[in-house]
Structure 1
Amino acid sequence: MSKPPHRFWDEDENSESFEKFSKIRKREKGKSRAGDLATRFEIPEKEWESQSVEGAFAARVVEVHKRYAFVSPEAERGQVKTNDVWLATIARRHLTARREQRNFVCVGDRVLCRPAREDELASTSELPQCLVEALAPRATRLARRDPMTPEREHILCSNVDQLAVVASFRKPLVKWGLIDRYLVLAESEGIKPLIILNKRDLLDDEAGELERSEAAEIAREGNDGASEAKVAGSAGGGRDLRSFRRKCEDRIALYRSLGYEVFTMQANMKGVARDPEVKRLAAALKGKITAFSGHSGVGKSSIVNLYKPELVQAVEPDEDIFYKGRHTTSYASFLKLGSGGYVIDTPGVRSFLIREDSPIHLTHCFVEMRPILGKCAFRECRHVDEPDCQVRAAVESGKITRWRYKSYLGLLLGTTGRQGRTRDLEVEEP
């Protein structure tokens, strides 16, 4: 099966409703950009090369902290000198500007900097220091609603080619709803998604059982439309590892049938470099800028370290701690890989709330629903309880799986929890 294009909208599709929605979105972005231009912090792409700030140089943001950032020169687009690091602060005249995002800059931003004068030095650091004078428009961005201030956005990183959605099969337990949430974000931004499932070894015990807490979490999540009683009454009291493994295999097969690349591995395994899946991922990362994101403790940094980054990412050395799902990365880092390409290793998230969106936009982000769009009785059909809905008909016929439809409903109706768990949605299995 050929892969569907990883973008928000397929030009070959015909939907007047979607075209109308796209125009509204463009106007909203234009208004936001106009506000930025008033402060001259964000510079349009066509003006980027013509800027004449004395001594200024183009750079890429490689780390962001509360009061400062680190940048590396980027004389040629895509060639970041990550071994040349400057300590950067925002030029003072921009600090009073009203902004809708929590952060002025984020990792991956292309910025215009100038060396700081003696009276502008931010600290006594031995690193060279500079001021960020301007920001280039972000081609793509990975953003979520700020957990502390929901009306604002927290942009985790920008200008990436790919988004590696990292999860672990167990400890912490894979959250399929969270993966779907990331896929929606990637489709919306036109970023190619990769799905990486780590800790493969925790599925290998033929006679093994899930822990009680894991079985209880699966029962609560109920992604298959099964009630807690139904799960508890299954083989092994709801704790049979073989059944869980089959469920994982089925979902991996579905993602692949939808055109998504899925990788399974054990990052801490001896001889892991010889694993065909590790080699296949190396080829996917080469020549690209890839953001790694996912739940806390799934092993993102351990996977990044397999590809020889110039700075080895910190991971917990204690295997017991490694499997408990704790944060080991505290801030995002832009890293050059020895195997080729760049990665942005982001901190593990415990909450990933994306903005509520229209049914038209959201439906297009579920690739299996695209061929059905425009065929419902109502142009603005939400695919919830409207009559003659072709999406719901596809769910009933099995063309769209019930658990993916449930992910759609959770995002549309705002009933999805902070970790991608869908609550109180009755989508019963036949």
Structure 2
Amino acid sequence: MPLLSRTWRLNLGVALATACLGAPVFADPFGPDGSGTDNERLRPGLYPAAPVAGDYGMPIEPTHPPFEIDWSVGLRGTFTQSTTGGQNFVTRLTPQASARYDGSLATIVGAASAEIAKPSGPDGVTITNMRLGVSGEMALDAVTTLNGDAALTLSKDLPGTLDLNPQIAAPPQILTGSLGIGLDRQFGRFNLGVDAEAMRTNYGPSTRLDIGEIDNADQNRWTAAGNLRVGYQVTPIFELFTEAGVSRDFFDVAGPSGEKADASNRTLRAGVSGSWNDVLTVSVSAGVGQRVFHAGNLGDVTTQLYGASVSYTPDPTLRMTASLETTMEPTGPDNPGTARIRHAALANIDYTVNSWLRLRANADWSSSQFVGSNDTEDRFGLGAGADYSFNAHTALNADYGYGRRNTSSSGQTDSHQVSLGITLSR
């Protein structure tokens, strides 16, 4: 009897504990893997939540810092020879650096590069190219993107540079500053793009073999430009678009004609573009452009505009690009006339053979007509190069370039250039 009494009291305690706690005291046989029949995620009308990294033994993906810095520096020797009898050897140092910030609201990229050259002989060290630039992009919403950029560039060719006019004994120093902003937005199948840019260009003096020193102050100018592009997405691949642009050049002083070459450009073109899964991208357009000089005695210029581009990337190891473009622009220093109409074509091939060898080749062609002058200029160039990587941070670079320049005033010049160097990168 005492034994039965103790058993009854134990069973009564278990029953009271179960009633108070509302759950069995033993462990859930299904465990925490989410397969239990009483799991809230499996109730009718509720969808199972996606597992989170770190839950149920899932690996945690590594996080990348929002700020990324990259740099490289190259040392290269270049030998150039032309049919005019000139030849030179130049040692070049080419440092580069970039910084990228990927934030939750915007992406900002800053870049700086320079080329420091030392020709053979008594000439000293020269900065032949230096550039500082920053660009940014911000998504205002799912269909609107705001972008902007600013850049400052300083350049000065050395005498005997590939494809340089043989009459130029001392090329001018060119300083350019630019500031731009743009907005892209989608309206259903319509794509709208608006951008504006302001630019300042300054030319230093140059020296020619035929007429001596030229001041080039008449080419210094301010430029303001705006562009509007409207596209209609006919299919997920093809887009029809039209593009209109206006720009105005304000020159500091009058040129040889006695008038300032202030002018306004107006362009209108239409075309079609297509993109196939980022493997093949094609764009073709045609239109008309007009350059109107503010000085009535300089007249107006009207020309047909053509544009085309293609990019083919069948896999990460191969990339091929080609483009054709017509532009209307000021003549620049050491050129006659009041405006230049230029047709230019470019082609590039980049092929990564394996982890240690990369090959590349390029070709370019251009034909220019100088308005207000009978002079013409035709250029043609070919190039090939290779990069051999010793390791992840060191590469050997070798290049060959050929250039032909033919002008109605100074005749034809052929130049060959060979370079060899080494690049250290982060």
Normalised TM-score (structure 1): 0.22
- Is the helix fraction higher in 1 or 2? 1
- In terms of fraction of residues, the more strand-rich structure is 2
When Rg is computed on C-alpha atoms for both structures, the one with the higher figure is: 2
Q: TM-score, normalised by structure 2?
A: 0.23
Q: Which has the higher contact order (CA 8 A, sep 6+)?
A: 1
